[in-house]
Amino acid sequence: MSVDATMHVVRPGRRDAYLDWLQMLTGAGLVLFIAFHTLLTASIIFGAGALDGVAGALEALHLDTLAHIFVPILFFMHFVIAARKIPFRFEGQEAIWRNARLLNHRDTWLWIVQAGSAMIILVLGAIHMWTNINDTAILAATSTVRVQSGGWLIFYLVLIPLVQLHVFIGVYRIGVKWGFITDATRPKVVKILTIAFGCVLAIALIALARYATMTV
């Protein structure tokens, strides 16, 4: 019995192209924010005065207010758009794992890591944003007390590496998908991104350790 091999093929339409562009733009916006946020929080390494000074300058320019408004919008918009490609049913997830093991390709596994980390970041990131929005101001003392209380240290030990991993995989996948990273440049770019990821993660964890050990 013959089977029409094209009957289940769905051609991507203009709507999919627009959503792909929007996914890239919202992702790029979040990458820039995370980079800026990492630098801000890393200023604690140089002492409470450094963080308070940087935060005070941002508040004087009302950039903190803009971040509290636009970053959550970007965050949830990016997730909703990207989620259309994530299988939530068990059958779909089983097929993804089966195909990933069959292909055993780095980019396929990176997509799975990114999709999996997105689920955790959605919950933890929302909690983090809500906590910061409800703080009266960004202060070293406030952040230190939070990290040193309850289970917040464990919370950030999970969130920080996942966010940085998600960001760097996202940068790589954007580059590959839109042609910025070619087959010829891929090995070099992967090496650069891996080194950059290690350096940024180390800085973020050193800053977290500073919060955890600093006397208020």
pLDDT digits (tens, 9 = 90+) for 20-42: 889 899 999 999 999 999 999 99
Distance in angstroms (rounded) separating the CA atoms of residues 110 and 185:
18
Quick one: pLDDT at residue 191?
A: 95
Ligand-binding site membership of 62 (annotated)? no
**Average per-residue pLDDT in the chain?**
85
Does the structure show a pLDDT above 50 at 208?
yes
pTM above 0.75, yes or no: yes
Position 207 confidence tier, pLDDT thresholds 50, 70, 90: very high
| Residues 169-200 pLDDT 10s | 999 988 998 888 988 999 999 999 999 999 99
Quick one: pLDDT at residue 46?
A: 92
Position 142 confidence tier, pLDDT thresholds 50, 70, 90: confident
Distance in angstroms (rounded) separating the CA atoms of residues 31 and 8:
36
In the chain, where are the structural domains located?
A: 14-213
Provide the token pair at 104: 């055993």
| Residue 34 contacts residue 171 (beta carbons within 8 Å) | no
Distance in angstroms (rounded) separating the CA atoms of residues 207 and 113:
25
Q: Which CATH architecture has domain 14-213?
A: Up-down Bundle (1.20)
Ligand-binding site membership of 37 (annotated)? yes
Ligand-binding site membership of 128 (annotated)? yes
Distance in angstroms (rounded) separating the CA atoms of residues 136 and 139:
9
